[in-house]
Amino acid sequence: MARIVGIDLGTTNSLVAYMTGGVPKVIPSRGGRTMVPSVVAMTDNGLIVGDSAKEHLTRNPERTVYSVKRFMGKGLADVQSELAYFPYAVTEQGGVIRIKLGDKSYSPPQISAMILKELKQRAEIHLGESISKAVITVPAYFNDSQRQATKDAGMIAGLEVVRIINEPTAASLAYGLQEKTQGTIAVYDFGGGTFDISILKLKDGIFEVLATNGDTHLGGDDIDRRIADLFVKEIRSAFDIDLMAYPEHMQAARLEAERAKIRLSDGQKAEIFIELPDEKGGFTRELTRSQLEELAAEIVERTLSPCRLALKDAGVTPERIDEVVLVGGSTRMPLVRERVQALFGKQPHCHLNPDEVVALGAAVQADILTGGTTDMLLLDVTPLSLGIETMGGVMSSLIRRNTTIPASAKEMFTTYVDGQTGVDIHILQGERELVKDNRSLARFRLKVPPLPAGVPRIEVTFLIDANGILNVKASDMRTGQSQSIEVKPSYGLSDGEVERMIEESFKFAQEDVNARRLIEARLDADALIVTTERSLTEGSPLIGEKEAAAVRKALSALTAAKEGTDPKPIRARMADLELAAKPLSVALLDDSLKRSLQGKKVSEVTKG
Amino acid sequence: MDHSHTHNVGRRELQMARSMCWHCQSEVSGEYFCERCVKVQPVSKEADYFTCLGFPRRLTIDPHKLEAKFYELSRAFHPDFYQNKSETEQAISLSNAATLNTAYRTLRDPIQRAEYLLAIEAGAVKEIRTSPPADLFEEILELQDTLEAYRASDQSSQAGHQLRAQLQKEQHALEQRKQEMETQLERLFIDWDNLQDRGEATGETRAERDRLLKQIREILSNRTYVKNIVNDLVATIG
């Protein structure tokens, strides 16, 4: 079976990992960096992703997208309150958010796909094979629309998403494999944009999630904002400048806030410098850890109530938790560790790198799916209750939150009026009583044969698969015939839209393919040059000067071709070199054969 | 062997109904994997949750054994292990895993387990009580008056505090009541299991069986009623 890589598609950073020799490993860039900043920039030379795009955050803020994960599977109304913080233009089209980059608009899955492509390419170069399948992680508290959007992103990037798994559970897989963790554990996952808590039971290779809770809109980003807001306020009163009106400077303030926050995880104070617009000089101040903690306290506090709810749903008290594991960059903050320790009454730990552990776990899950790891099994749950709208705008729950997935529920529908030919069904997710307080997932119309009222009996099966994604099936109980259902997602791309986006990405794919072929050709050429040069040093006494000169000539031709941007001449010069070096390799082979035969009797040789 | 005994055996066979392997058409009877071609078989639609998890219809189940069986079957059915298999096998795995999860969730909790057993033994839908049980009638009426008075009162006043304290006392009493019902249920569960273990099918045991089911049902619905009242109370007084 083809290789499946594990991908952590994070709010701030993304990573790709794979399993080798029973151990998960993060794939680094050529420069040795494991994290790809989840940033996409539109430059004059086209789209760029990652470290190079991050540089554009302050240079080119209107055309540089960061934290796109916050927009996945959302409508504009969901994010209205925080739009002021984003320098790029966010609009809506057909219920799905669009981000304007230059003269084109992109959906969040398309932007995420660009990050995924970067990771895919990184893996392909590192592993020397083409990658078409991935396990991608999402916050445990992601709803159906957000999961579907992540799957769409994978498809647009040319990846079959064989499984969506939850970030905290992925982390537990890595811990279970590498640290042999057992017992009841709590995974506290506080990242750049999302917070999750999962309570799991680890026993005999089974990773059973007992309960999960979280907030998909709460993360380190929010702390950075609080700090940046303070700077804005102080700059306004000291210099009478509204920094919010200057996107470049606002970005700089946000990045300075993030840097200071990170520094204050180890140190007690950090120097702040923000260049002011219109050459009005700079704003400087000192930020102490206690000042930071004052700003962050409310946000950290907000992570605790999901923890208590998860414990309650899992039916365990904090004393029954054997281990508390920390995941996500924000757990580096001493304040976070303090609060977690106070809640669970034990010291939390992060023996594995909290930035990498989720990607490592995704690679473990990928290995389970390919059949490599057979003794581990993850039994996850659905984070939110699933239901349908009933009379009076009330949600009737079909699958309760924290139900082990796959989970299914059947519901029988009939008609109220003679000859009625359809029943409208509205699917929801959430914990509240009323439809309007829950998340609308999708609507569909059930086709019913025209019969007297109450006679039709249509059974609808709602099935949440192992990805936490809903599938709906209906069958007519009278005829036994099943009907396909076309679900119109409330906050997602339709199948047609996803297809169009895949096509669009193919247009760019041609360029990508060329780029990859070039990289591969150069790598192969390098390898050939090294081995040929070695052979030449060893074997030149064995061949004629004319032949050796031909090899040298072919070598320099290949070295020159390698500088070009077309992979074809590189491959051609490689073939030339192989041909020219043939006498050399034959001579070397003869020579080694001769040497191995020396001192042996003829009978031994023939016996082989 | 009297008539009713034969009837029972017949029912047992129905659960373990013989069928054909969807793949190689050889006979399979109750096993989850075909003996010949080793393909996974769909859990029968007729199989109840006890059969699905390989447990007899008893109301006392060792939670550790149940968990062990659930883990074992999860390893057999989970979609993670069918990634390389045919579409048919993937579909069976998905549906089996979903059924298994429902079965385990239902049997794991003693109350849900008993409600489920009532449904399959007596065909009763869960009875929802709308009026208080007779022996609690007056107590509940009084409680509702107090609740209303508390809602109408200035909750930070002296009177409000007094009402709140009274409600807390009531809550405590009801919780204790619920506990008693659960103890009663536990005893009835053991009686039921003993009756099943004896395996006799005389007119007398049938009457005993019906009597037990009726009693269990009544206490279950009373318990649900009390539980809901307590939840309301907690929601009001916090």
pTM for this entry: 0.81
Residues in chain B within 8 Å Cβ distance of A163: 80
Q: Are both B53 and B95 inside the same structural domain?
A: yes
pLDDT digits (tens, 9 = 90+) for A14-43: 999 999 989 999 999 877 889 999 999 988
Residue B140 sits in the same domain as residue B184:
yes
- In degrees, rounded to 5, the angle at the alpha carbon of residue A24 between the alpha carbons of residues A22 and A27 is 135
Between the ranges A74-83, A194-203, A557-566, where is the mean pLDDT highest? A194-203
The pLDDT value given to residue B29 = 74
d(CA B208, CA B204): 6
The rounded Cα B47 to chain-centroid distance in angstroms is: 15
Split into its structural domains, chain B has a count of 2
Whether residue B127 is contained in a domain is answered as no
Q: Which residues of A touch B (CB under 8 A)?
A: 1, 162-163, 203-204, 206, 365, 368-371, 374, 377-379, 403-408, 463, 465-466
Q: A449, A481 in Cβ contact below 8 A?
A: no
B112: pLDDT strictly greater than 60: yes
CATH of domain A220-299: 3.90.640.10
pLDDT in tens, A271-317: 999 999 888 888 999 999 999 999 999 999 999 999 999 999 999 99
* 3-state SS, one letter per residue, for A425-466: EEEEECCCCEHHHCEEEEEEEEECCCCCCCCCCEEEEEEECC
Please state which of the ranges A129-133, A295-299, A530-534, B143-147 shows the lowest mean pLDDT.
B143-147
Provide the percentage of residues in chain B whose pLDDT is more than 70.
89
Both B154 and B86 in one domain: the answer is no
pLDDT band at residue A591 under the 50/70/90 scheme: confident
Q: Which residues in chain B have Cβ-Cβ distances shorter than 8 Å to A370?
A: 83-84
Average pLDDT value over all residues in chain A: 89
pLDDT of amino acid B5: 38
Query: Number of Cβ pairs closer than 8 Å across A and B?
Result: 55
Q: What's the mean per-residue pLDDT of chain B? A: 83
pLDDT value of residue A305: 93
Helix residue spans in A345-430 (DSSP H):
357-370
- The DSSP secondary structure of A262-320, one letter per residue, reads HHTTTSSEEEEEEEPGGG--EEEEEEEHHHHHHHHHHHHHTTHHHHHHHHHHHT--GGG
Kind of pairing between the strands at A407-413 and A470-476? unpaired
The predicted-structure confidence for A368-383, as pLDDT tens digits, reads as follows: 999 988 899 999 999 9
B70: CATH = 1.10.287.110
Residues B138 and B181 in one domain: yes
Tokens of A177: 């494999």
The alpha-helical segments, DSSP class H, found in A438-566 are 495-539, 545-562
Residues B74 and B27 in one domain: yes
**Annotation: CATH topology of A384-492:** Substrate Binding Domain Of DNAk; Chain A, domain 1 (2.60.34)
B102: nearest CA partner in chain A: A407
What pLDDT is recorded for position A27?
Answer: 95
pLDDT tens by residue, A112-155: 999 999 999 999 989 989 999 999 999 999 999 999 999 999 99
Cβ-based neighbours of A163, under 8 Å, separated by 6 or more: A135, A136, A365, A366, A369, A466, A467, B80
B142 and B219 in one domain?
yes
DSSP annotation of A159 reads: -
> How far apart are alpha carbons A560 and A557 in whole angstroms?
5
Q: Are residues B60 and B145 in the same domain?
A: no
pLDDT score of B95 more than 90: yes
Say yes or no to pLDDT of A88 above 70: yes
Q: Are residues B141 and B229 in the same domain?
A: yes
Indicate whether B47 and B142 sit together in one domain. no
Beta strand pairing call for A377-379 and A160-166: unpaired
Residues in chain B within 8 Å Cβ distance of A1: 83-84
> CA nearest A4: which of A378, A375, A367, A516?
A367
- Rounded to an integer, what distance in angstroms lies between the CA atom of residue B122 and that of residue B214? 9
What pLDDT, on a 0 to 100 scale, did the predictor assign at position B126?
A: 56
From the centroid of its chain, how far is CA A437?
Answer: 29
Do you know the residue count of chain B? 238
The pLDDT > 70 percentage for chain A reads 96
Amino acid at A381: V
Sign of the CA dihedral with A442 first, then A148, A197, and A321 last: positive
CA distance A173 to A402: 19
pLDDT digits (tens, 9 = 90+) for B155-169: 788 888 888 888 888
Do B149 and B103 share a structural domain? no
Q: Residue A314 and residue A309: Cα distance in Å, rounded?
A: 8
User: Do A390 and A367 touch, CB atoms closer than 8 A?
Assistant: no
pLDDT, tens only, B29-82: 777 888 778 788 888 777 899 999 999 999 999 999 999 999 999 999 999 999
Q: ipTM for the complex? A: 0.83
The predicted-structure confidence for B179-188, as pLDDT tens digits, reads as follows 999 999 999 9
Q: Residue B121: inside a domain, yes or no?
A: no
Q: Verify whether the Cβ–Cβ distance B98 to A206 is below 8 Å.
A: no
Burial of A595 (0-12, 13-18, 19+ CB in 10 A): exposed
Look up residue A71 and give its amino acid: F
Which structure tokens are listed for B189?
């569960």
Read off the tokens for B225. Answer: 């009623």
CB contact under 8 A, A407 and B78: no
Most confident of A447-461, A571-585, B16-30, B97-111: B97-111
- Looking at residue B1, what is its pLDDT? 36
* Separation in Å, CA of B216 to nearest CA in chain A: 25
For B:44-73, CB contacts with A below 8 A are: 71
For residue B210, the enclosing domain spans: 134-237
Which residue intervals of chain A bear CATH 1.20.1270.10? 497-597
Q: Are B229 and B144 in contact (CB under 8 A)?
A: no
Give the number of other CB atoms < 10 A from CB of residue A341: 13
CATH of A497-597 given 1.10.10.1100, 1.20.1270.10, 3.90.420.10, 3.40.50.10860: 1.20.1270.10
d(CA A326, CA A337) in angstroms, rounded, equals 8
Fold (topology level) of A4-218+302-379? Nucleotidyltransferase; domain 5 (3.30.420)
Are B153 and B163 within 8 A, CB to CB?
A: yes
Mean pLDDT of the A185-209 span: 94
A365 chain-B contacts, CB cut-off 8 A: 80
Percent of chain A with pLDDT over 90: 58
Q: How confident is the model at residue A422 (pLDDT cuts 50, 70, 90)?
A: confident
Mean pLDDT within A162-168: 96
pLDDT tens track for A207-234: 999 999 999 889 999 999 999 999 999 9
Taking the CA atoms of residue A260, residue A266, residue A267 and residue A270 in that order, the dihedral angle to the nearest 10 degrees is -10
Q: Where in chain A is the domain with CATH 3.90.640.10?
A: 220-299
Amino acid, res. A168: P
Tell me if B128 is assigned to some domain.
no
Q: Do residue A370 and residue B105 have CB atoms under 8 angstroms apart?
A: no
Nearest to B98 among A203, A206, A407 (CB): A407
pLDDT reported for residue B125: 54
Q: Say which of B79, B84, B104 has its CB closest to residue A406.
A: B79
Query: What is the reported pLDDT for B21?
Result: 85
- Residue A238 has a pLDDT of 92
Counts of helices then strands in chain B (DSSP H, E): 8, 2
Task: Answer yes or no: is B3 within a domain.
Answer: no
Distance (Å, rounded) from C-alpha A594 to C-alpha A48?
A: 56
* pLDDT, position B11: 38
